[in-house]
Structure 1
Amino acid sequence: MSNVNKPLKILMILHMPWNRNLGGARVQLELAEEFQLLGHQVEKFDILDAFPHSKFSRLTSLTRPSFATKARAYVEANAHRFDIIDAHQGNLPFSKGKLGFEGLLVARSVGLYAFCEEFASFEKTKWAIKPQGNPISRFLRNWRNKQESPYYLKSLEACDLINLPNFDELKYVKEQWGLEKKSVVFPFGLSEQRQQKFISVIPPSEIRLSHQEIVFIGYWSPRKGSRDWAEIIRRIKEKIPKAKFLFLGTGVDPAQVLADLEQPPCEWIKIVPSYDSEELPELLSTATVGAFPSYMEGFGFAVLEKLASGLPTIAYDIPGPRDMLSSLDTKLMVSVGSVEEFANRLIDILQLSPKSYSILSEQCVQKAKRFSWKEIARAHLEVYTELLQSIK
């Protein structure tokens, strides 16, 4: 086994703010915390470091230099200080020679870009999504996407190691690009402290079942299932009139959510556009069952945290959630887009006996405990250290 006790200097690079409330950033941020607890040094270079004086708007994001250009300049100036660079896919589409870096270069996926492109095509077909924004913005966005789209594959080809969040992505990387030999799968996780916070506020099963509350966590968008919810609600209310719905972290005005749900303001639908990450355990404590009709994920923090809260969670059978739910209970997954089946599974959970619900709830907690950041961080370091030794 490689020696992972030697202090390493690690640079995290990401094209978004270093913010725990953002799922994409949270992965590296929380891994960094675990690395530091193990005695390693971690620094970051994020979008705010790249553009510290910018007034962020849709227009400036389309007209400023690419993040990759800024990241390259930073690495060229600081490469000598780091043993490992862990960058989001597309952030460093350059060879180590061009970067002047001799350590381990990692390209990280928190949702493979190729899968995002596939969903974008699917979305246009399924829902006839029309272009949004004014023509100038659309032109600039399309131009920028055309310029930067090649960065994603280039970054995977240039790196020493591809870090993937689920096994479906590993299969794709193998079959489409033949890059499986330098790929590794690491799931996302929770810290021991956060897991304990969820557990500490779990109420008795009888109380949870009496609430009859269904909870969704995620940004309100077609990718996360927003177009399916109106029918899901109608089907559930037909069978369980007292059912309630909680939508967390939608990121949009509640009026827009209600319009998509085809419902007026009412006491049985609660919408929380944003919340602090530390508030989530308490917010989930009133719920009975989780619902996650997402069409595309890297891993799915929303599923993992509901499991940690003891909430049986129904999800579409997609990469990410599949890695958590398939070995827990296959009845928790339904075919992608099967709204009737999705609603029926939620109804089944709401109608469980307290004993059956309690058993399933405890299984959810135990499943979540298997996704420990502490252990995942140690596994990262073993792989990173072994590869670092082999290239030096």
Structure 2
Amino acid sequence: MRIACFTQFAYGKKLGGSKVLVELGEELNRQGHETRVLTPFEFLGETANHKTHALAYAQAIQKFTHDERANFDVFDVDCAYLQFARRDYATEPLLVSRSVLLTLWQEREIKIPERKTLRAFAGKLLKGRQRQQEWQGLFASMRNSFREADLINLANGQDKGLLVRDGISPEKILIQPYGIDSNRRALFDAQPILPENNFRVAFVGTYDERKGRCEFPRFVRALAKNFPQVRVILLGTYKTEQEVKADFPSDLVHHIEVLPAFEPEQLPALLAACTVGIFPSHLEAFGFGVLEMLAAGLPVIAYNSPGPPEMLPPEWLVPRGDWQAMATSVAELLTNEALEIMRHKQRARELSRRFNWQNIAQQTVQFYEEALQRR
């Protein structure tokens, strides 16, 4: 099968948006398929901006489907850039809308906490109307892509439920979770699972409001109250150590360690030094950070929001935004005996094995082939 995938981000594995397509594409190629991952920069130059050049990128994709229709069986496109009617694209290949429904969830029912700062207030006052208009334009493009695409590719079941409630046929929707390839899996497996409790709690993800920034200081205070030796390690924050620690009162700063960025091959060793993982994200397409912490053998306590429930058992989920429940669940894990900690860690690693790119790629191709046959 020949697949062209279009992402809105630069090509690479450090950001989740393109990481998914790059790793999936590599696995598809290993299995004998022909996959090409395309970015806005290939069409619009190095100064391309996926926000200001959205229409130009959408038009470039539309033209590409006609110019290259004989060379591909599937065009897999980020939903924001399928802005035209189905008849405006090449008819022979399968047209897939790859969708991340973060903005739709926020429009409907998931409100991300906002930090009450003067800068945030000023930004809302000065740019609030413009942002709302941008969001409405994005919603319109997404809904159009769902109607016009032959298939919709989602990463979790709650997203599917949202679209089905909107009248989209469930037969049109593929749920494709994300995975870990065999080479990266080997790096995680090379790190032994140890029963020692070192009271180090890991978080892998950007440090922002959607991923629990507003709740983090209260969570850390609740945990430190019972465990004075606890350390919360924030990995991949992208904000500097100084910016992150500025959110915490002076008496909590020594409980925080921050690593804004790291190379992917470093992560298994960084996580091996921890006992428990947390993921206080209000909303995800999937949650790579959760999967990586599980692969490292960390039981992960997460908000029960779209994304993480695809990977985690119910007892490792707490209500969205409930930092107290998260602190309580983490405390319960930290008070376990060594053998019980070992059992939780082994379970975490086994849970992660369900999510591997080899199986996901095979299932994706099968779904696409069946769709092509129906057409």
TM-score, structure 2 normalization: 0.92
Which range moves more in the overlay, 100-109 or 353-362?
A: 100-109
- 1:46 lines up with 2:46 in the alignment: no
Change (3 A) 1:274 1:265: farther
Partner SS for 2:278? strand
Paired with 1:14 and 1:64, the residues of 2 have a C-alpha distance of 12
Is 1:332 aligned to residue 313 of structure 2?
no
1:295 CA drift (Å): 0.4
CA–CA separation in structure 2 for the residues paired with 1:87 and 1:160:
11
Q: Which residue of 1 aligns with 2:164?
A: 174
Q: For 2:57 and 2:107, how far apart are their aligned partners in 1?
A: 20
Between the two proteins, what is the percent identity of the paired residues? 27
What residue is the counterpart of 2:295 in the other structure? 308
Structure 1 residue matching 2:77: 3-state secondary structure: strand
Change in CA separation of 1:317 and 1:53 when aligned onto 2, cut-off 3 Å: closer
1:38 CA drift (Å)? 0.8
TM-score after normalising by structure 1: 0.88
1:383 aligns with 2:367: yes
Confirm whether residue 122 of structure 1 aligns to residue 115 of structure 2. no
Alignment of 1:243-282 (within 5 A): 243-263=230-250, 266-282=253-269
Aligned counterparts of 1:345 and 1:382: Cα–Cα separation in 2: 40
Is 1:287 the counterpart of 2:274? The answer is yes
Structure 1 spans left out of the alignment, 5+ residues? 1-7
Indicate the residue corresponding to 1:37 in structure 2.
30
Shift of residue 197, structure 1, vs aligned partner: 1.1
Q: 1:89 aligns with which of 71, 79, 93?
A: 79
Provide the C-alpha distance between the structure 2 equivalents of 1:197 and 1:25, rounded to a whole number of angstroms.
Answer: 21
Residue of structure 2 equivalent to 1:190: 180
Q: CA RMSD in A?
A: 2.4
Give the match's secondary structure for 1:79. coil
- Residues 265, 337 of structure 1: CA spacing in aligned structure 2 closer, same or farther, 3 A cutoff? closer
State the 1:310 CA deviation. 0.4
CA distance in 2: counterparts of 1:33 and 1:55, whole angstroms: 25
Measured in 1, the distance between the counterparts of 2:229 and 2:371 equals: 56
Q: 1:165 to 1:53 in 2, by over 3 A?
A: closer
Matched, 1:341 2:325: yes
For the 8 Å contact 2:300–2:316, the answer to whether it is kept is: yes
Residue of structure 1 equivalent to 2:4: 11
Cα offset for 1:335?
A: 1.1
1:4 equivalent in structure 2: none
Give, as a single letter, the amino acid of the residue that structure 2 aligns with 1:380: T
Separation in 1, partners of 2:54, 2:6: 18
Q: Deviations over 1:251-298 (max 9, x none)?
A: 112222112223479554211111122221111111111011110011
Structure 2: unaligned runs, 5 residues or longer: none
Letter in 1 for 2:123: Q
Letter in 2 for 1:294: S
Residue 371 of structure 1 and its aligned partner are, at CA, apart by 0.9
Q: 158-167 or 192-201, which moves further after superposition?
A: 192-201
Q: CA deviation at 1:66?
A: 4.4
Query: How much does 1:360 deviate?
Result: 1.0
User: Structure 2 vs 1, CA of residues 63 and 304 (structure 1 numbering), >3 Å: closer, same or farther?
Assistant: closer
With 373-382 and 270-279 compared, the bigger mean Cα shift is at: 270-279
